Amino acid sequence: MHRVHLAAVPEVEQRSPGGKFQSWCRNLSLALGGLRHAGTWGGGHPFDLQIRRIPPGASVCPFHAHFAQWELFVVLRGTATVRAGPETHTAAAGEVFIHPPGEPHQLGNPGPEDLEVLIITDNPPWDAFHYPDSNKWGLRPLGKYFRLTETDYFDGEEAPTPDAPPYQPVPAPPGPALAPFASRKLHPDALPWVPWASPMGKFRGTGKSLSIALGAQPNTPTGLGGHPFDLELGKLAPGECGCPFHVHAAQWECFLFLSGAGTVRTAAGLTPVGAGDVVLHPPGEAHQLTNTGTSDLLYYLVADNPPLDICHYPDSGKWNHSSPRKIFRATDAEYWDGEE
């Protein structure tokens, strides 16, 4: 289990030469063992978590659009100005919003006090970005920024024929069809708490599926209507245990605890957690969360959406196949059993 406390993660200033873009970043994923700009394909995590503190009058970064990366914001403190395409919105403390690939966006602090936000992004192997205000482009992982000089597809590949017509640029394809930004911004208070419980009540809790409310299809990877990660707001009352002891074969889960006190069970034993703790469970690590305090245990849960996942429940010897969903106990069989 990877665990850090917010106060122990250093704030690193990121500032443009003239100070127009400035913030202090607590990179939670790096503190939890992740790698910068590297997903699971490069030894990193499938998503990154940062907490950014933006001073009055500053913006986090220039107005830009990603071609592959998703970004989700949770306003923790203050009021933000959000440029989203041609529109400008405000987002108050507690509000959550998401920018899919293709939407130019920018976050600024118009208020008299510091703005603090939680930022969650995925880690695509490649990404390109465009800066409409300055007409620049960028590529990652190359780390190159440039302006375009349009050219023909075969330029430099072979000599042009003497009678070749002048090059005519091909019109850019239309951008992706995006839902209006207002439908991708919400305050959790607008959503009801949804309870869950096992038949005998041994496992129970309540939650708010923020990503689903922001337009994601449940348990669905990107490309099929889902988001690359899911964000939930969870709550356990004193004494409640959220789910059986279980281990994922593919899914990653990260908990950011907001208030209360609890215990995380892993194969290594019991670990106390409380407000400000961040815990990451990679695939292969069995875990379970219980509220051992005297008040509600409140937390954000971030999980990725692998196309297929299998869970094992060590206490009961069961398995769970995610798609199609099947819960079963395994009976040993020989590889060719039933084939010939």
What is the domain partition of the chain in residue ranges?
Answer: 2-158, 191-328
Q: What whole-number distance in Å separates Cα of residue 206 and Cα of residue 233? A: 9
Contact call for residues 131 and 61 (beta carbons, < 8 A): no
Query: How are beta strands 318-322 and 325-328 bridged, if at all?
Result: antiparallel
- Give tens-digit pLDDT for 134-190: 999 999 988 899 998 888 888 889 888 888 888 777 776 677 788 899 999 999 999
Rounded to an integer, what distance in angstroms lies between the CA atom of residue 36 and that of residue 262? 30
The pLDDT score that the predictor gives to residue 173 is 65
Does the structure show a pLDDT above 90 at 51? Answer: yes
Contact (Cβ atoms closer than 8 angstroms) between residue 76 and residue 124: no
Flag whether pLDDT at 269 surpasses 70: yes
pLDDT value for 172: 66
- CATH 2.60.120.10 for domain 2-158: yes
Quote the pLDDT of residue 220: 84
Q: Indicate the residue type of 278.
A: V
Q: What is the pLDDT of residue 129?
A: 94
Distance CA 205, CA 304 (A): 21
Task: Give the whole-number percent of the chain exceeding pLDDT 70.
Answer: 99
Mean pLDDT of 55-83: 97
Rounded Cα distance, 84 and 98, in Å: 10
Asked if CATH classification 3.40.50.300 holds for the domain at 191-328, the reply, yes or no, is: no
The yes-or-no verdict on residue 1 having pLDDT over 70 is yes
Cβ-based burial of 85 (10 A; exposed 0-12, middle 13-18, buried ≥19) = middle
Residue 72 pLDDT > 80, yes or no? yes
Confidence of residue 193 (pLDDT cuts 50, 70, 90): very high
Q: What is the DSSP string of 9-26?
A: SPPEEEE-TTSSBEEEEE
Sheet with 115-122, side-by-side order of all strands = 12-15, 22-27, 47-54, 115-122, 71-77, 96-99, 185-186
Rounded alpha-carbon distances, angstroms, from residue 120 to 32, 51, 64: 14, 9, 16
**What are the tokens at 86?**
């041609």
The 10 Å Cβ neighbour count of residue 195 is 10
List pLDDT tens digits, range 217-264.
888 888 788 999 999 999 999 999 999 999 999 999 999 999 999 999
Q: What angle do CA 308, 253, 10 make, to 5 degrees?
A: 140
- Same CATH topology for 2-158 and 191-328? yes
- Quick: pLDDT tens for 302-334: 999 898 999 999 999 999 998 888 999 999 999
